[in-house]
Structure 1
Amino acid sequence: MTRTITRSYDDYAAATAVVEDLGAAGFSDSEISVIGRRGDDVDDSNAGEGAGIGAGVGGAAGLLAGLGMIAIPGIGPVVAAGWLAATAAGAAAGAAAGGIIGAMTSAGVDEKDAHLYAESVRRGGSVVSVRTSEARAVEAEAIMDRATPVDISMRRADYEREGWTQFDANATPYVRPSI
């Protein structure tokens, strides 16, 4: 039986480090996905840079070398690689409901959590997801949790205090408030 384990990270560098650690532990590129925002420099004009982004992270698994730019409705352009990225991009291109939500839920992520993960990417975070056997699930979780992922219960509560109820694929890309 296959399990999908997903974590959200506020920092793109943490997400790519998790991908590298998963690869070093023997998880294959076909099991790992990453979708994220590198920071404030991700915009439509960077769409051709995807492959170079992965090569520049240094020593990353082959998955990171294949990073590309995709546009996800409600999120905007992101760097992405792996099965989740391919499914989300295909769903977006086919105008399937939810794009990223549909990709996550079809992989076994709870719909309520999928909305939160999508919103987290919309707000500048990154998501790493692993599809693996039940036998390796605990190992994957340990690797992913070492990088201090977002506590999704607390993050959901934070978003809900702002009036958020669920990810909206028709929303404009999120712009962080100036401090």
Structure 2
Amino acid sequence: MAKLLIGIFSTTQDASIVIDELYKTGYSDKEVSVLSRKLKQMNKISESTGIGKPMTGNAGNSVFGMLKNMVANIEDDPKEVVAAGPAARKMAGTEIGKGTDDFIVPLMSAGVPKEDAQQYEAHLLKGHVLVMVECEPHEADRVANIFKAHHVVGIE
């Protein structure tokens, strides 16, 4: 059974380096996802790593969604998750910081304890980047070591 590891990174550069290193060790864009609340940040990560175009959710394809994305790009302060990778379909566009459980429920369904999911949400609100890797249990230490080597921020 696959295991989900989530690393929190305070800079775009650290997240990009981690994604590149994961790719070099054999992971692909089918196993690595990245989440942020900042569209500019996600665009930079996407361009530098090739992880794929950031998704903003279903509303992003409507006229309203395009306008919303333009404003978010200018203000760089949406309260929704921007995502790339396999988690994008479930996580992109989920609301954070508004007292909803839109972000927390999908993480819990993936086996993340509620308290941890709430801390991940808090880190997104601070502008941090989440890198998620789906790996085999015997590879978890290798992924954790890659995270640690590049300034992963822990949760309490």
**TM-score between the two structures when normalised by the length of structure 1:** 0.64
1:108 partner SS: coil
1:124 aligned to which of 124, 127, 131: 127
How far apart in 1 are the matches of 2:12 and 2:87? 17
Q: Does 1:25 align with 2:25?
A: yes
Structure 2: runs of 5+ lacking an equivalent: 61-77
What is the aligned length?
134
Match in the other structure for 2:104: 101
2:84 aligned to which of 54, 57, 81: 81
- Point out 4+ residue stretches in structure 1 off by more than 2 angstroms: 52-56, 65-71, 89-92
Q: Deviations over 1:50-92 (max 9, x none)?
A: 7x645532xx2x42x3233458xxx624542022232113766
TM-fit CA distance, 1:11: 1.2
Over the aligned positions, Cα root-mean-square deviation in angstroms equals 2.8
Tell me which amino acid in the other structure corresponds to 1:30: K
1:152 aligned to which of 144, 150, 155: 155
Matches within 5 A, 1:6-21: 6-21=6-21
TM-fit CA distance, 1:151: 2.3
- Is the 1:84–1:103 Cα contact (8 Å) retained in structure 2? no
Structure 1: runs of 5+ lacking an equivalent: 154-179
Higher relative contact order structure (alpha carbons within 8 Å, sequence separation ≥ 6): 2
- Is the 1:54–1:67 Cα contact (8 Å) retained in structure 2? no
- Is the 1:9–1:126 Cα contact (8 Å) retained in structure 2? yes
Match in the other structure for 1:56: 47
Identity within the alignment, %: 26
**TM-score between the two structures when normalised by the length of structure 2:** 0.72
- Is the 1:54–1:66 Cα contact (8 Å) retained in structure 2? no
